[in-house]
Amino acid sequence: MPISRRNLARAGVLALGAFALASCSDSSTAPLQVTPDVLQTMGDNVATEIESSIASLTAQDVMSSTAGAPTFRRVPQAGASMLRGLSFSRTAGTPVLKATADISQCGVASQSPPVDTDGDNVPDNWSMTFSLPACHFVDQTNASTFDVTGTLHISDPQPGSAGLALAFGLDNFKVSFSSADASGYVTRNGNGSVNASASGLSQTENWTETAVLTGITSGSASVSWSASFVPTPGQSLVAGRALPDGAYSPNGSFTLQQGNRAGTFSITTIDPLQYSAACAGGTGISPFTSGHIRVAVSNQQNSGYADVTYSNCNSATVTFVSQ
């Protein structure tokens, strides 16, 4: 999947958010006091979710990108370098952390090839299970270890009629890590679905992510949004093929809980994100040529908001705007 090599280049919603908000947590139950720096961080995390979500609009993309699950790129490394991204590959049967590959290489599929009654490339009912010892990895350069467990599943809501509709989810998906400096884990559970109509695709996603990290107050994040994808005039959606150019518009919210404090953020599309098939399949850092998303704190007054903008297939630019 072209996007999967870049869409998790930043830490995940929770893995990074926990560090950003660590200084805010205490025994009280007051709302999190979100500073401009933290809000900008949340904007960056929303950009990560956006790029993961558009990679879940087609069945083949869900199956090759693990539906936005935490990966080594989203899990902190250790100590002072906890926010550095990681990925991995296996060589000569020995797990070694490197710059390329994806976690699907250690998973076990329920069917190979997947059963697809109507031939639309959406499997009738397929899953991939990640378990130990196959999904135990070692970074030999710094004696860090990573374990991946859990299940990705995808199904066709209408297995007898060819189309683009699909349902998918993650069950107890967990990436654990350990090193001399730190240890912990990130989990993600939830589900998503895609429906098709004459005008395009509609998507819903609901995820809960939890992070437990050495020396940091444990936290969780609930992400919920809906999105639409409308092909550019003259282009069409075809089951089994990559997305054409089009406009992507996500709207929703996420709640970040750390200790006894919580912060709720709204996600609003100001200008639809212009998806480019060429950028997604080429060397672009993101698949978007333009677009504008706003991230605001819902339970805090006069805190400003973060603008997330895209241009020319580059990484999102996140700018804090005071109020």
pLDDT of the chain along its 323 residues, tens only?
Answer: 333 323 333 334 454 454 455 444 454 555 666 667 777 777 777 887 888 888 889 888 888 766 666 655 444 433 323 323 323 333 333 333 333 334 567 889 999 899 999 999 999 999 999 999 998 888 777 677 888 899 999 999 999 998 899 999 999 988 888 877 778 888 889 999 999 987 899 999 998 888 887 776 677 888 899 999 999 999 988 888 889 999 999 999 888 777 777 778 889 999 999 999 998 887 778 899 999 999 887 766 656 788 899 999 888 888 888 77
pLDDT at 300: 61
Closest CA to 300 of 47, 32, 3: 32
Domain for residue 290, yes or no? yes
Q: Is residue 18 part of a domain?
A: yes
pLDDT at residue 101, as a whole number? 37
Phi, psi values for residue 51, rounded to 5°? -70, -30
Question: How many H-runs (helices) and E-runs (strands) does the chain carry?
Answer: 4, 15
Answer yes or no: is 141 within a domain: no
> What is the domain count for the chain?
1
State which residues form the domain around 240: 2-89+161-321
> Does residue 257 fall inside a structural domain?
yes
Instruction: Classify residue 258: in a domain, yes or no.
Output: yes
- How far is Cα 194 from Cα 54, in angstroms, rounded to an integer? 11
Does residue 135 form part of some domain? no
Bond before 133 cis per omega within 30 degrees: yes
- Residue 309 within any structural domain of the chain: yes
Pick left, alpha or beta for residue 212 (phi over 0 → left; psi -120 to 50 → alpha; otherwise beta): beta
Q: Does residue 190 fall inside a structural domain?
A: yes
